[in-house]
Amino acid sequence: MRAFVLTGPRRGAVLEVPSPEPAPGEVVVDVERAGVCGTDVEFFTGEMAYLHQGHAAYPMRLGHEWAGTVSAVGAGVDPAWLGSRVMGDTMLGDRTCRRCRRGHQHTCEDRQEVGIRGGRAGALAERLAVPAWSLHTLPDEVDAVLGALVEPGGNALRAARAAGAGEGDRVLVLGPGTIGLLTAMFLRAAGAEVHLLGQDALTFARSLGFAHTWTRDTLPDLPFDAVVDASGAAELPALAVEVVEPAGRVVYIGLSARPSELDTRALVMKDVTAVGVLSASPALADTITAYATGSVDPRPLVGATLGLDGVAAVLGGERFAAPKVHVDPRR
């Protein structure tokens, strides 16, 4: 089959590789859509921390946001999965450790991550092998485009919920990228007044109906009941605490390339609750429901759908009017 293979920093190509066979407990999925995200770019540039921590190594196959159809099942898997339209969890815990047994398999020390960690090949390929237990069925209302947006949407839904905001609350989202905009959509669906701060892409945010968009210089002096940092800027975690209301909540889902600085005395003196969000795992099912019912429609975030031959250019910096790029490996 054809797959995009990353062989080193800024080196990758579409190659012919062996098609996966389902191991016991696994299925093979024919991939219909796969998203490209910032994590993939970090692997392309060589900056991704996992490369330096021993959790990942070249060559590798990227792609952890995906949707497709089950085409084969391994031993011990219910054959009823065949033909099912699915997406899957990125985080694959060992299912035996204390964290997994307590329902936190996405934090398992020995986890694999599809297309990211532990040698588990990703979805920038025509076919993908994953454990059957990691699958989520997609209803008819959730096509492949929406299905490949479930994983980033699950991250955003967790961030929005962690903000604890609803009717009558004002929330500031830092960073108008895919996760920031998805978080803003979920907050808006919950009834919150949503504001966005960024350096660019604000015109696009306004096209999605977000009227309150600001730069650092134009941010008004308003009481924000919660702030979500979905940026990759090392200085913005501190800004979140600075502008949030006393007794408010700050949510951190963005990751910067260098350590951020945050004075915990500010958290204490303002009685602020700070929450970190890793992984979409606990919110995948609810994200599918939100998309199926139409309470959140993330389709406008997809700026282009390319074939595998277009992946290298996107990883190298090619951008489109909307932040998310999808890949159809069948092209």
Q: Are residues 128 and 160 in the same domain?
A: no
Q: Are residues 318 and 215 in the same domain?
A: no
Is residue 133 pLDDT above 90, yes or no? Answer: yes
Residue at 282 is within a domain: no
Q: Are residues 46 and 121 in the same domain?
A: yes
Residue at 289 is within a domain: no
Q: Are residues 60 and 180 in the same domain?
A: no
The pLDDT confidence band at residue 253, using thresholds 50, 70 and 90, is very high
Residue at 285 is within a domain: no
Residue-wise DSSP of 57-68: -SSB----EEEE
Does 59 sit behind a cis peptide bond, omega within 30 degrees of 0 on the bond before it? yes
Q: Are residues 130 and 196 in the same domain?
A: no
Q: Are residues 11 and 104 in the same domain?
A: yes
Q: What is the pLDDT of residues 87-117, one digit of tens each?
A: 999 999 999 999 999 999 999 999 999 999 9
CATH of the domain at 216: 3.40.50.720
CATH of the domain at 50: 3.90.180.10
Query: In degrees, to the nearest 5, what angle opens at C-alpha 180 toward C-alphas 178 and 181?
Result: 65
Is residue 278 classed exposed, middle or buried when 0-12, 13-18 and 19+ CB atoms within 10 A define those classes?
A: middle
Q: Are residues 145 and 161 in the same domain?
A: no
CB 65 within 8 A of CB 123: yes
Residue at 140 is within a domain: yes
pTM score, whole prediction: 0.97
* CA distance linking residue 75 with residue 85, whole number of Å: 20
Residue at 126 is within a domain: yes
Higher pLDDT, 228 or 199: 228
* CA distance linking residue 35 with residue 327, whole number of Å: 6
> Could you tell me what percentage of the chain is helix, strand and coil, using 3-state DSSP and rounding each to the nearest 5?
30, 30, 40
Q: Are residues 189 and 111 in the same domain?
A: no
The CA dihedral of 136, 254, 251, 102, to the nearest 10 degrees, is: 40
Give the chain's domain count: 2
Dig out the tokens for 121 from the structure: 């090949």
Give the structural domain span for 206: 155-276
pLDDT for 25 equals 98
Is residue 171 pLDDT above 90, yes or no? Answer: yes
CB-based contacts of 172, cutoff 8 Å, min separation 6? 195, 196, 197, 219, 224, 226, 227, 228, 240, 243, 244
Q: Are residues 130 and 187 in the same domain?
A: no
Residue at 189 is within a domain: yes
Q: How many CA atoms lie within 13 A of 318 on its CB side?
A: 13
Is residue 185 pLDDT above 90, yes or no? Answer: yes
Residue at 203 is within a domain: yes
pLDDT for 201 equals 75
Q: Are residues 252 and 313 in the same domain?
A: no
Residue at 46 is within a domain: yes
Q: Are residues 177 and 74 in the same domain?
A: no
- Residue 292, helix vs strand vs coil: helix
Q: Are residues 119 and 218 in the same domain?
A: no
